Amino acid sequence: MEIRKLTGKNALVTGAGKGIGKSIARSLAGAGATVIINYNNSKESAENLAREINLSGGKAIAIKADLSNAQEVTDLFKQIHNQIGDIDILINNAGMAKPQPSESIRIDDWSEVLNINLTSAFLTIQAAVPAMKQKNYGRIINISSVAAQTGGVIGPHYAASKAGMLGLTHSYAALLAGYGITVNAIAPALLETGMIADNDKITPDVIPIKRFGQPEEVADVALLLACNGYVSGQTINVNGGVYMS
């Protein structure tokens, strides 16, 4: 008999129109959660995913919001509250990669990457936490990157944004531990998604197990963390052995 551990829970997956977020949304829906598929630019993909989940017996809705914009985050949470209630599980996956030589990075590039990759997570956590505290229950999972640990190959702006996700995770894990809220990070490396498609520096040869990872392998870890109430403040590395801790 299938155990649907997340039945009755509401999960927001940011940047869920494609890649890792899409796989996580499928995984959480399969475990019984009602999933909010957040997107900014990937409308068709997000709506198709919601349709797929609903047709397969799950529950999902797609909602657009630019999460680097504080007002749009506020509006997103109002829409979610009005349609299904409050969030129990928050997956901060929205992000962008902007490969650039360090000498060509300008302040606008820096701000864009930091706002989309890091500020968005701060805004969504701040919006989700009050209701989680009232329920004495919450699961927050921040998608970081091996770039936070090694510097990576995309650029210092990207590495800094993903390192910031780890600091954000540690701080909120400590602050929210007494409210039944766990906060963890996942640090993937070199997954077979659009983020690495156009970067000729990235090949399977740099990975000890000699293959790219799959988004579903990150989704497996996200599901574990969403179902577990005793793991908090941790970074789970899903990287094929690139960085060992």
Which pLDDT value is given to residue 1?
38
* Catalytic center residues: 158
Domain-embedded: residue 148:
yes
In tens, the pLDDT along 93-111 reads: 999 989 899 999 999 999 9
Quote the domain boundaries for residue 114.
10-238
The total number of structural domains that make up the chain: 1
Q: Kindly state the tokens that stand for 33.
A: 């959660």
Please answer whether residues 60 and 53 qualify as being in contact, where contact means their C-beta atoms are separated by less than 8 angstroms. yes
- Please list, in sequence order, all residues whose beta carbon lies within 8 angstroms of the beta carbon of residue 188, skipping any fewer than 6 positions away: 20, 143, 145, 146, 213, 218, 238, 239
CA–CA distance from 89 to each of 68, 94, 142, 229 (Å)?
19, 15, 11, 12
The CATH number for 159's domain is 3.40.50.720
Q: Which of 12, 176, 151, 168 has its CA nearest to residue 80?
A: 12
Q: Is residue 69 part of a domain?
A: yes
Instruction: Report the predicted TM-score, pTM, of the whole model to 2 decimal places.
Output: 0.95
Examine residue 82 and state whether it is found in any structural domain, yes or no. Answer: yes
Average pLDDT, the chain: 94
pLDDT in tens, 161-213: 999 999 999 999 999 999 999 999 999 998 887 655 566 667 788 889 999 99
Q: Tell me whether residue 1 is in a domain.
A: no
